[in-house]
Amino acid sequence: MTNRHKNTKFGRKSGHRKALIRNLAKAIIQHRRIETTLIKAKDIRGTVERLVTIAKRGTLHSYRTIISRLGNDSKIAKILYDEIAPIYKKRPGGYLRIMRHGFRTGDSAPMAIIEFIGYDPDTRSIKA
């Protein structure tokens, strides 16, 4: 009997896969917009949206939880906690947008741009 599997394996072992997802999450928080493959974008969306929801609580426990889930990177946690979470305080969910962006040249993998809702590429800021 085949059961439903929650995460995509990406052809990597579990430690490498967790590091990949953590690094992509840190990149999207730092840059507000990244270009990656469609499957990776769909996989990290849930992770980042959970982190934003935790950051919206505004407690010390939530701040420390974010730091631990981002691999003890307090700079990125501070950006998420102080800059991004207050923008989405009244929004119940759906903080990220995934847009398809053609195919990669080498292997024709479907590419996507994942960004925060309200991101303005000209000013590189998020507007509510």
Residue ranges of the domains in the chain?
14-126
* Residue type for position 62: S
* Residue type for position 11: G
Q: Of 42-46, 58-62, 120-124, which range is least confident?
A: 120-124
The predicted structure's pLDDT at residue 126 = 84
* Interatomic CA distance for residues 48 and 26, integer angstroms: 9
Q: Residue 113, CB half-sphere, CA atoms under 13 Å: how many? A: 11
The predicted structure's pLDDT at residue 114 = 97
3-state class (DSSP) for residue 96: strand
The predicted structure's pLDDT at residue 103 = 97
pTM of the model: 0.90
13 has a pLDDT exceeding 80:
yes
Residues forming beta bridges with residue 6, ordered by sequence position: none
CA-CA-CA-CA torsion for 15, 61, 80, 14, nearest 10 degrees? Answer: 10
The pLDDT of 106-119, averaged and rounded, is 95
Q: Does domain 14-126 have CATH number 3.90.1520.10?
A: no
85 has a pLDDT exceeding 80:
yes
Instruction: Calculate the CA 98 to chain-centre distance.
Output: 11
The pLDDT of 76-91, averaged and rounded, is 94
Q: Which residue has the higher pLDDT, 22 or 6?
A: 22
